[in-house]
Amino acid sequence: MPKRLLKAAVILSVFVLLLGMVRGEYRSKQGAVAQQLEKLNPAINKDISYIDFLTYRVLKNGSARVATLGSSVTKGVGASAPSNTWRALLQSEIRGESRPLQHVTISNHGHSGYTSEKLLRPEVIERVVDSRPDLLILETSVINNYRQNVTLENTEASLEELYSTFKERIPGIEILFISPNPILKTNLTESGLNAIDLTFNDYNQFTKELAAKNGWNYFDTNMYISEEITQRELALEDTLNDKIHPNDLGYDIWFNQLYHKGLTQPNFGQNK
C-alpha cells in the first residue's frame, strides 16, 4: 500500500476510534442523566428534597425557576442591600450547590403592606404566573393580616384561593407556604392584641394548622428563627431593623433555617 494511502488509513482509523470514544462517553453521560432523572422524579419518589426537585427540573428542562411571594419581609425591607435579603442569600446558596443548580433563578414578588387577601389582586397573580415558577415559596403575609385586623376566616379563604389559583394556573408547580419572621408584640399595643383581640402568634398557629388540615407543604420559619435566636442567646431586637422587619442578621438566620431545615430535607411534602 502506498505510504500516502497508509497514512490516510491510519488517520481514518484514529478518527473512527475517537468518534467511538466520544459517542461512548456521550451515551454514558446520557445514561447517568437518565438514572439521576429517575432517582429524582417526584412522581415516583416521595422522599426527595426541594433541592432534589429543582435539580430534577434543571436536568429535565435546562433550567428551574423559583418565585417568592409575600409581604415586605419577603420583599426584603430592612436589609442593608438587596444581596442581604433571604431571597438573594437563598439564590446564591442554591446556585453554589451543584453545577445543574447554577441554572436556578429566584424572582421576588414581595409587596409592602399586603395582606394575604391583597396578594390575590390580579396584577400580583399575573406577575407570578408570568414568571413560570417550578417552586413557589409563599410567605403567608400574616404580619399584615394581624396589623390590619383581617379575620381568621378571611385569612383561611384567601390562602386557600391563592393555593388553588396557582395550582390551576401553573401545571406541575410545587407550593411551599412559610410563616414570616418573629416580630415585637409592642408594635401595636403593649398586650400584643390587635383590634379583633388576636395576637400575631394566633395568626401563625392558625395558618400552620390550616396547612396541616389541607395537606399543604408548610415551613414554620417563625418557629425556627425563634429557636436559633434562643440557641445563640440573642435578643429578638438584635435581629430586627425595626419592630417588624429583619436586619441583615435576621435575614441571614431566615435564609439559613429555610435552606438547611426546609429545602434540603427529604420528604418535602411533609408539614413542618
Nearest C-alpha neighbor of 124 from the set 146, 107, 103, 109: 109
- The pLDDT value given to residue 3: 63
Largest CA distance in the chain: 101
41/35 Cα distance (integer angstroms):
10
Q: What is the bridge-based pairing of β-strands 174-178 and 64-70?
A: unpaired
Q: Which residues of 92-128 are buried (b: 16+ CB within 10 A; e: fewer)?
A: ebbeebeebbebbebbbbbbeebbbbbbbeeebbeeb
What does the alpha-carbon distance between residue 58 and residue 135 come to, in Å, rounded to a whole number?
A: 12
Question: Would you say residue 8 has pLDDT above 70?
Answer: no
pLDDT digits (tens, 9 = 90+) for 203-260: 999 999 999 999 999 999 999 999 999 999 999 999 999 999 999 999 999 999 999 9
Length of the chain: 272
pLDDT digits (tens, 9 = 90+) for 92-150: 999 998 899 999 999 999 999 999 999 999 999 999 999 999 999 999 999 999 999 99
Of residues 33 and 133, more confidently modeled = 133
pLDDT for 260: 96
Alpha helices in the chain (DSSP H): 3-40, 50-61, 72-75, 86-95, 122-130, 142-147, 152-169, 200-214, 221-231, 248-258
* Average per-residue pLDDT for the chain: 90
Q: pTM for the whole thing?
A: 0.87
Q: Report the percent of the chain where pLDDT is more than 90.
A: 77
The predicted model gives 168-172 an average pLDDT of 96
